[in-house]
Structure 1
């Protein structure tokens, strides 16, 4: 088997790595300094000037909208081409926004490319592609177990030429950003239809009357300002009938089209994060002395470093296989591989980051090192885009189905 990347991917890898070395890695202290300054000035939910400055540099370098396979609007890369680039971006948690490749905007742009009307694309897709606005995806609800999306209770009721929306959403990432201009809202449009045809998705302007951001939610104490994961109320929100995506009852269809590529992106970014954690672990182990010798010479540390390398490489190969399957056979045929990487990558990253924290000692849990924040990202992704249990059930059903087919 040929595991090499295409010449174009190799070229983009080198250009991304050079951009990181020159602009991203040296700017990491400034990122946190600017957040601290905004917080002290009462402007915590203000976009960072650092990010905006770096966006201009990334765009000028031709490193913009790399995620989008549409060659007219994006880089025209396949999932397999884009995956190693997402890994590089994942090394610094905030870096993907610099290249206009951050969630949830990437998934929302893909939805608008695939399912939006020309009017939707002109109003929301074009400014998203330009990086002029941000967006949010409103699916999860506090009152129900949203890992089973058929539980969703938010309503989408037609009233003449408008739909009326009611419901409460949370973990709506991106809704804290003042530039957030549009939500993709998933709700129940026909409670009497078959279970997977009850839901629809609809575009909601963020400034529509009745949309109210209630509060930011924290992950292990981090609020991820100015992006945020917000609880949002939708009370008698009225939007035109033309804002529906594809038509009533197509919500699950859209969700599957949106989440497949998004899971690849998340998993490859996690692999980049795990690589960064392993590098930090090795550096710290070489410097830190305990019981008369460096930690790098302690057998338990060596075992963890070796196991981390094995697990990272296994996760990368499985993720690349899933990307290749999506490219050659489509998302539906790659369902099992996508589910597997969504289980494997976050769990792997949690383990590697945790081992790195052990090598750092108490410092690993503090903000003097980036590992605690890395861990919150990896642990969150055991829920986001479907929890481990749902993906494991899906994998098991596919395997059991093979047995039935052969008997």
Structure 2
């Protein structure tokens, strides 16, 4: 009896597996799109303005927390006397008042679901947004928008983004070389149309001081977990207990999204550390509720976080010890990190600047690790760090504006 053995090499096997996964996820997204399209028609309401901004450059912001990303870019466009339209899903977005006071068109277009219904009918030359997964879930590519550009709101690696987060964009204003390499890898893997990948930077750094006034308090440690599947929030109670038990004071600053997504967990933590904790811990634990992070960063001696944008902010601006939990093991099918093979720039940044990468088992000895880190001198060549981990540090608003205008000129020519 003849038996034919089929051999599939590892590379082909990986490609086949990727294809199967991709088809499955595409099917799920298609079903979701049908639902969202129906729901949008059912719930879409008139907001009194037309989505027709034909021939215009449009910026859309999900809300106030993204204003610091857009402001340096829009300031440069204003300086160049360039017209644009600013749209937001937040009535409290300072950008609405700021832009209107400059004599430029700005509109509130409703909360997220209503805004998406509006944006799906948008007419414009270029639409610049921070929102990922264009064309994947609710936010579709309007056939009357000639070019979609994504502006990154943080230097964070894209491993924790959901599948196809950037696939449907025509261009991406990238924060660092690592992002460019990852996007190019995904384009080749999926055989997608090549996007324009610009060396832009992270625009909100433009208005932030390097090494602001340091008001560090003795033994105060900032614990700032992110949200979602890469968050270390599940370890929060043990981490903070260990710190308090070993004479550290704790400033707890959860991600703003956690205030919505993890409301119950955060309330339990707050009740425990404010009311139900040991007597000797009273007054040594604090919940940071400030809208911006500058005060928290200035007050602390070191930060404990996840593999999130906090690492970059803390290193670029404050040059203090960083301890980051490696939570990437939680990333499974459904995240871009499932495909990406390049080491995270966040880990490289930690290694370069003397930071510490923590594993989950380190929660039981977090205090001695922090003590040791505080005693070690942080070695950091600032110019080397800026040159290798971020584009155009504190100059990216101007660069982004010029890149966007070059796109518009290309479209018009």
- Greater RCO between the two (CA within 8 Å, min separation 6)? 2
User: Which structure features the higher share of helix residues?
Assistant: 1
Q: Same fold (TM over 0.5)?
A: no
Bin for the TM-score computed over the shorter chain: under 0.3
Larger-gyration structure (1/2): 2
TM-score after normalising by structure 2: 0.27
TM-score after normalising by structure 1: 0.27
